[in-house]
Amino acid sequence: MLEEAIDLGAEFVDVEFGTKRSWLRDFIANKKGTRVILSSHDFKGTPSLKELRRLCDRMTRWGADIVKIVTLARSWEDNLLILSLIPYARKKGQKIVAVCMGEKGKMSRVFAPLLGAAWTYAPLKKDRTSAPGQLTLQELKKIWEKLR
């Protein structure tokens, strides 16, 4: 399906970094004009900063146009870990999306774009969320207006 999306001229495709390496290598090599988002999701928690940076660097070396790292926030401090990846990646010239899932991860979704993330994810309606802890577009806009 992803190969067909490229053939049809998709602007972006999102590929899980855990995908079989031989396929992933060929896929990235043949992406044509499509930008590849390499994604990593950790539904159990947030690794250490050292592990997160190592993962970001590996995804960059694999040729990600955009690195996407999403973890589950088990503590408020997990937001700080994930958000610290944004300036880290940007200093290396790597575009990144880095947010936490879960109730305690909402703050990362607010601050990620303000720190320079490529984007964040926000449904138009609460019943259309794709991950726990997502704020709606209206909720984000209200918070951003208050912060500015």
Q: Which of 32, 44, 68, 126 is catalytic?
A: 68
Residue 14 has, within 13 A of its CA and on its CB side, a CA count of 8
The arrangement of secondary structure in 2-121, i.e. its CATH architecture, is: Alpha-Beta Barrel (3.20)
What is the pTM (predicted TM-score) of this model?
0.93
Confidence band (pLDDT; 50, 70, 90) for 132? Answer: confident
- Decide if 31 is catalytic: no
List, for residues 48-101, the tens digit of each pLDDT value. Answer: 999 999 999 999 999 999 999 999 999 999 999 999 999 999 999 999 999 999
Q: Which of 20, 31, 41, 142 is catalytic?
A: 41
Largest CA distance in the chain: 47
CB 88 within 8 A of CB 56: yes
Enter the tokens of residue 85. Answer: 């990846």
- Decide if 41 is catalytic: yes
